[in-house]
Amino acid sequence: MSGRIRSSCLRYFCVAAIVVCCSSLPNTGFAQTRLEEGESVKVMFLNSWFDGTVLGKDKNRYGVEFEFAGTMKREMFERAAIRKACEIDALDLARAWESSNGKFKIDAALKSFAGDKVLLAKTDGNEIEVPITSLSEKDQLYLKKFKKQFDDATKKGAVPAAVPKLPPIEDFGSPALGDIGSMIGTGSPSSLGSVPNFYTTFEQSGTGFYFARDRQQIVAAIPVGGPDQLVLMTARENNFQNRGVEFQSQAYWVSLKQKKMLGSVALTPEDFIVDYDPRTKRLVSIHSDEMRGQGDQDTMTLWSLKPGDTQAEPLMRWAISVDVFDRSHFAKLITADLVLTKAARHTYVAWDTASKSIAYTFKSASFFDAPIVLTADRKSIIVPEDGKVSVIDALSGDLRFSLPVQDRHVSGANVNASGTKLAALTERHVYVWDLESRSTDPQVYEAPLIGSPFASRIEWVSDDLLLAESSMERVLYRLSLQLPVWSYRMEGAQSWLNRDPLTNQVLNGLFFYVAEPDSMRGSIAVGAVKLPGPQVDEMTSKLNRQSLMLMKQGVRIGLKLDKVSDPGSVQQWLSEKIQANRWVLDPNASIQLHAEMGVGKTQTETYREMGIGNKTTSVTFTPHFASIVIKQGDTIVWQTGTTTGPPPIVSGQNIQSEVAKSEVPQLDFFRVVKIPSEIIDPKYSRGFGVSKLGLRGVEVVSTTPPGRSGDPQEEDRKSDQERRDSNTNRP
């Protein structure tokens, strides 16, 4: 006999079984169909289901033989722990049903309610839909009592809710992930779409409610807008500890205007409900069972759901590949029929559910896998890449335009609410393009205190304010000052709830986030606060930028060379730069400039031949890097670097040899690198005050520069370690 069956096969768990375990749910009092000796069944043993054979009955218990750990076992079980074949996907155990005229009788299990009809699963394996009025008076009484019990138990979270039956899994094809190429080209910049009107109804507000079950966990907080200022809160439950019971995933309609939860939608278990589009009335979920076995397939489901409705209709389900590193399960609705997903690191696939095929694929050329952004009008995709920002037409997958930057890595990019300004964050700068001018020349702002080569998020608060990720905080950066001006922190454990982009975002100047008023009882709250909040403008409007400089004329600095290939030349070049900045070279100074060179791990890249055939060739390359880090003790004051990588386009018969030409030491970096003569003290890296985001909205907690959050030395050591680790994996 086979062993454990997949939990997804037991989508519903019968109420009668829970009656035995839960005294709060009374029995209907109607007898169930007996098990016969020799009958094949499923039996619950140690929280898993096994195939078994009924041996006989002793009073109210049945003997069942089944295989466990390679050996045959014989155990006695209550009826509630055993399933006939027709009961596996049913709401209750099988019983005898009779027509109102007494001419027809069947043994079957109640599978679902559908208005004035019921669906019955017969013991012979067939299903039959029957009008309730055609059943006997006894059966109608049973259904009336059962439905009331079931509804009451569902509201209490004692039993799983009835959920829609999913359509069969379809195969839309599998993208050859290794053959997906990066976007190449330039194009002409143009404005992107503005925030739709239905999002502009939101005002600063917040409210909380209780999940249907204490164990449900938040997946996403999706602003929907409209007159009621709706937010769709979605949750799921890890059913591993529920003794085979499969509790539903759930979506909750929350009104920030009325400050209450208006209703909920039950979806199938193990679904991550990740996106909703009120215009197309489509919902998308990813089914990813955390206890899936070898060969089990992740799937995606497209649903129809009107704003405020409490029942969703599954339209299509298909097999997908899910990025195992993407804990936020990236999936976005482009149109009613087009869904964009992240299939692997750097790699995205758009699924056309109308034609049941792959519409397009693309690969971001971002070594640190910076997050892409779908614009609020769902028409464009912003892709941060190494050395550029690309904008893709979300409908066709075609490149609209690419905008180059002078820095190596773009860690995040986004567009403002009107769609007229595009910002990109790099390791040292913020680049801002005026898209209305159609110019490729950006305005460049110094931003080493919030800059990062690693994947990050950047969002527009206003046309002068950007909100950037920074460790466990958010930092507000003012373009007109070229400075971080304020920090925002979450209350305690709330910071972990908001690390996922699905649970927090900036929309039209409002910051949406979630919180737990009472985590032990399954409560959740959603807040929308207007940034920057109290005292920020007053505190930062008269800042003197010059007074904040740590590195300036006359400062003393030492020079340390770490593994450079030509120490004499590097010493001369960097000494000249120190002198040109009017700094004083002093080997014993507390501030030291560290110069380093090295070689990363060998990597593989795939090139596609242009023209007919699309022949692909895989090559290897070994990156070479060089870096400069200025430190005061253990604190990083400023840093920059460069790495080599495979060229985007190569020509010739021997592609490997062409790629190898880029595998050269980056000694010349130290000759051409520009080191600013003035560098702001890193104690201002988080701005000039701190506000707290939580159940009471936004509150000022400090009006002094916070420096780095937590232990500054520990964070600097972490940043330094991240830099060293990245040097072994750079492109």
Single out the residue of 221, 244, 82, 285 nearest to residue 160, CA to CA: 244
The total number of residues shown for the chain amounts to 731
Single out the residue of 254, 263, 211 nearest to residue 235, CA to CA: 211
**Triad 305, 306, 307: Cα angle to 5°:** 120
In the block, tokens 């912003």 appear at: 382
Q: In sequence order, what are the residues at sequence separation of 6 or more whose Cβ sits closer than 8 angstroms to the Cβ of residue 75?
A: 43, 45, 63, 64, 66
Residues 209 and 340 in one domain: yes
Range of the domain at 228: 199-363
Confidence of residue 610 (pLDDT cuts 50, 70, 90): low
Among 316, 335, 363, the domain-final residue is 363
Residues 152 and 250 in one domain: no
Prediction pTM value: 0.76
Rounded mean pLDDT, 124-141 = 93
pLDDT value at 183 more than 80:
no
Residue scoring higher pLDDT (21 or 466): 466
Single out the residue of 488, 486, 481 nearest to residue 542, CA to CA: 481
Q: In sequence order, what are the residues at sequence separation of 6 or more whose Cβ sits closer than 8 angstroms to the Cβ of residue 36?
A: 54
**Domain-embedded: residue 125:** no
**Domain-embedded: residue 209:** yes
Residues 260 and 336 in one domain: yes
Confidence of residue 712 (pLDDT cuts 50, 70, 90): very low
Residue pair 218/235 in contact by the 8 Å Cβ criterion: yes
Residue pLDDT, tens place only, 20-61 = 333 233 344 566 788 999 999 999 888 788 999 999 998 889
Per residue, the 3-state secondary structure of 317-335, as one string, reads EEECCCCCCCCCCCEEECC
Residues 77 and 226 in one domain: no
Lowest-confidence region among 108-117, 202-211, 253-262: 108-117
Strand ranges for 345-450 from DSSP E: 347-352, 357-363, 373-374, 380-385, 388-393, 399-404, 410-415, 421-426, 429-434, 443-446
Residues 150 and 209 in one domain: no
Reported as type and span, the H/E element at residue 41 is: strand 40-45
Write down the pLDDT at residue 715. Answer: 39
**Domain-embedded: residue 545:** no
In the block, tokens 């950006």 appear at: 442
CA distances for 580 relative to 143, 576, 587, 674, 677, angstroms: 88, 6, 17, 11, 8
Please state, rounded to an integer, the average pLDDT across all residues of the chain.
Answer: 86
Per residue, the 3-state secondary structure of 339-364, as one string, reads EEEEEECCEEEEEECCCCEEEEEEEC
Confidence of residue 18 (pLDDT cuts 50, 70, 90): very low
Residue pLDDT, tens place only, 637-672 = 888 888 887 777 777 778 888 878 878 889 999 999
- Residue 416 exposed, middle or buried by CB count within 10 Å (0-12, 13-18, 19+): buried
532: preceding bond cis by omega (within 30 degrees): yes
Q: For residue 38, give the 3-state DSSP assignment.
A: coil
* Residue 38, domain CATH: 2.30.30.140
Write down the pLDDT at residue 731. Answer: 26
Q: What is the DSSP letter of 90?
A: S
- Rounded Cα distance between 452 and 308, Å, is 41
Residues 148 and 228 in one domain: no
**Domain-embedded: residue 624:** yes
314: preceding bond cis by omega (within 30 degrees): no
Maximum pairwise Cα distance, the chain: 104
**Domain-embedded: residue 446:** no
- Rounded Cα distance between 268 and 160, Å, is 10
Among 314, 347, 363, the domain-final residue is 363
Residue pair 122/106 in contact by the 8 Å Cβ criterion: yes
pLDDT value at 608 more than 80:
no
Confidence of residue 140 (pLDDT cuts 50, 70, 90): very high
**Domain-embedded: residue 541:** no
Single out the residue of 104, 123, 99 nearest to residue 33, CA to CA: 123
Residues 141 and 203 in one domain: no
- Rounded Cα distance between 115 and 471, Å, is 52
Residues 225 and 340 in one domain: yes
- Rounded Cα distance between 494 and 515, Å, is 5
Instruction: Give the pair of three-digit tokens for residue 39.
Output: 């009958």
**Domain-embedded: residue 669:** yes
Strand partners, 222: 232
Residue pLDDT, tens place only, 387-442 = 999 999 999 999 999 999 999 899 999 999 999 999 999 988 999 999 999 999 99
- Rounded Cα distance between 466 and 8, Å, is 44
Residues 151 and 213 in one domain: no
Domain count, the chain: 3
Instruction: Give the pair of three-digit tokens for residue 59.
Output: 């009073």
* Residue 266, domain CATH: 2.130.10.10
Residues 319 and 207 in one domain: yes
Strand partners, 562: 596
**Domain-embedded: residue 597:** yes
